[in-house]
Amino acid sequence: MKKKDFIIEIKENISKINQTKVKSAISLLTKQKKNNKIILAGNGASASISSHVSIDLTKAAGLRAINFNEANLLTCFSNDYGYENWTSKALDFYAIPGDVIILVSSSGTSKNITNAAKKAKKIGLKIITLSGFSKKNSLLKLGDINFHVDSKNYNVIESLHLIILLLIVEKIIDAKKNS
């Protein structure tokens, strides 16, 4: 099977972004209580996306956001609790009921991310997920709001995850300017 052109696949997937889910995510993120925060986590490029978006949510959108991409946290918790558990153990230390967690995984099968979603439910967090590849991936079933990119290409999936999250940030910024 011939691989789709990158730009064509990006355009096709941009047109499929569910605007109702975008609005729901915006509502979830902007209606938090003052002591709550947004937590972002991912692996590899998804970790970079999480870092980028957490800063934009904080600085540009005026929302409290953190990410779990500190090398010392990641290596310490991975060493002590196993890689598949480090993110969920970080939630034990940093999350409180009412926080929102945004979990980003291209495959939707990364054990540390799916375990974090399960832990987040137990703690009482609201969960936004972003995944790709199979529509049957385990992360897609664990969130309150789930975004899925219909692609098998990591670069397309990662690009769309960033576009979706920055779309949310931009709409929050615009809403604050117009209020």
Is 62 a member of any domain?
Answer: yes
3-state SS, residue 156 = helix
> Domain with 147 in it: what CATH number?
3.40.50.10490
* 8's tokens: 């064509």
Residue 49 contacts residue 158 (beta carbons within 8 Å)? yes
For the segment 115-139, what is each residue's pLDDT rounded down to a tens digit?
A: 999 999 999 999 999 999 999 999 9
Q: What is the pLDDT of residues 66-108, one digit of tens each?
A: 999 999 999 999 999 999 999 999 999 999 999 999 999 999 9
Residue at 3 is within a domain? no
Nearest one of 112, 128, 119 to 68, comparing CA atoms: 112
Q: Is residue 37 part of a domain?
A: no
DSSP conformation class of 174:
H
Q: Residue 102: which H helix or E strand, with range?
A: strand 100-104
Considering the domain boundaries, does residue 8 fall inside one? no
2 within some domain:
no
Name the CA dihedral angle for 172, 106, 43, 18, rounded to a multiple of 10 degrees: 10
88 found inside a domain = yes
Range of the domain at 76: 43-177
Structural domain count of the chain: 1
Q: Is the pTM of this model over 0.85?
A: yes
